[in-house]
Amino acid sequence: MTGLRTEILTRTDQIDALRTDWQALWNRTPDATPFQSPAWLMPWWRLFGNGRPRVVVLRDALCLHAVLPLWSDAGGRLRLMGDDRPAVTDALVAPDRRDGAADRLLDAIDRRADWTDLHLVGLRTDGLLAEDAVTDPGAPRARRLALPADLDDTVRARLAALRLRADGRLGLRIETATRASRDRLLGLLCGLPGSGAAEEEPAVGAFLRDMAAGMMALGRLRLSLVWLDHRPAAGVLAIAGRSGTWVVLAGSDPAFARHAPLDIALGHALEQAAGEGAATATLFGDTPDALGGTPLATATRTVRRTETVAA
């Protein structure tokens, strides 16, 4: 990797200045997840970051080639930014720079003495950081669907029947977010009992608003609400990734449970993703089993300071 150098960014203003190059790197990395994008991680750091940033970058004079967004908590433990939210993540590395990149990033951390251990959760099991990682049995529940295969004629027919029945009995409307309606729909989704967002701290709502605004600016936000009887019945917040769609928040009003509005909302999101050419859809949280899919595992890697983290 001639001409490449590693740096560790330790100030928020340095991270802010990295945003354009970081986003460009994400844009050119085909298997990147939304949880590796600055549109997700920078709002998280602003609202939940309560330690010291330790963002490792690999670059040359012209381009940013890799980012490992770490932070150090009060006890000196190094963690991935965003690790308290459901995520599937890894070091973000350009496709043509993967050989040896993880070692270079971890070597940079090795040379510092201001940490006690490295604790990485939510790792892709096939990722660059997965060496010596163990599958995490306590990971947030997630399922992955193959598109369009898992959205077969039987599933589509069931979704169509649900929509027809709900429309005939209560009047069905599916509203998709625009720039003007984004915050309103997100607020309604977060207020649905089934989303879980209403019970979380206010900062979570602020994070979701900032993240949604950033993802919409990138053309990646997929936010929709199902209305029944002129009331919000269910909603989905999804992010269109580089190769798949990620449903990161979904909820419904139990008062409409017999009309399966969450199935309708998720079905709408899946059909939209398939129509856009997404190869997969990943659903976090408790979503209807009738939609199918297979469990998605993540991994955890922990290394003590006395060990060498790079191979």
8 Å CB contact between 69 and 39: no
Superfamily of domain 5-136+297-304: Gcn5-related N-acetyltransferase (GNAT) (3.40.630.30)
| Helix/strand/coil for 235 | strand
Residues 55, 58, 59, 63: is their CA dihedral positive or negative? negative
Residue 280: beta bridge partners?
146, 244
pLDDT band with cut points at 50, 70 and 90 for residue 286: confident
What does pTM read for this prediction? 0.92
Average pLDDT over residues 83-105: 91
Least confident of 83-87, 116-120, 273-277: 83-87
CATH 3.20.20.70 fits 151-292, yes or no: no
Q: Check for a shared fold between 5-136+297-304 and 151-292.
A: yes
* Percent over 70 (pLDDT), the chain: 95
Average pLDDT over residues 35-61: 94
CA pair distance 48, 237, nearest whole angstrom: 20
8 Å CB contact between 78 and 115: yes
pLDDT band with cut points at 50, 70 and 90 for residue 197: confident
**Backbone conformation region of residue 192, classed left if phi is above 0, alpha if psi is from -120 to 50, else beta:** beta
pLDDT in tens, 226-248: 999 999 999 999 999 987 999 99
Average pLDDT over residues 41-50: 93
CA pair distance 114, 124, nearest whole angstrom: 27
So what's the pLDDT on residue 54? 96
What are the structural domain ranges in the chain?
5-136+297-304, 151-292
**Backbone conformation region of residue 172, classed left if phi is above 0, alpha if psi is from -120 to 50, else beta:** beta
